[in-house]
Amino acid sequence: MLIQTRLSANPVFQALERIGEHDHCQAGGAIGLSGALAAALAQATANATRSQQPMDVQDAAAKSMQQTMKRIRQEFLRLADADADALLEFVALEERGEPLAGYALLCEGPRAMADLAVEAAQTMQSFRTHVCERSRDDLEFALTLMSGVARAAIQLLDSNLRIWPLPELLATYEPHIDRLQQALEALQPMTRIRTP
The per-residue pLDDT for range 10-54, each reduced to its tens digit, is 677 777 787 787 777 789 989 999 999 999 999 999 999 999 999
Question: Which residue would you say has higher pLDDT here, 69 or 82?
Answer: 69
Amino acid 147: pLDDT: 98
CA 94/CA 92 separation, integer angstroms: 5
CA–centroid distance for 164 within its chain = 23
Query: What residues contact 5, with CB distance under 8 A and at least 6 apart?
Result: none
**DSSP class of 189:** -
pLDDT at residue 1 greater than cutoff 60: no
pLDDT at residue 163 greater than cutoff 60: yes
In this prediction, residue 114 has a pLDDT band, given cuts at 50, 70 and 90, of very high
CA distances from 161 to 32, 106, 155, 172 (A): 19, 10, 10, 10
Question: Which residue would you say has higher pLDDT here, 146 or 100?
Answer: 146
CATH match for 26-186 among 1.10.3720.10, 3.30.413.10, 3.40.50.300, 1.20.120.680:
1.20.120.680
pLDDT at residue 88 greater than cutoff 80: no
3-state secondary structure of 128: coil
- Please, what sign has the CA dihedral across residues 20, 15, 146, 138? negative
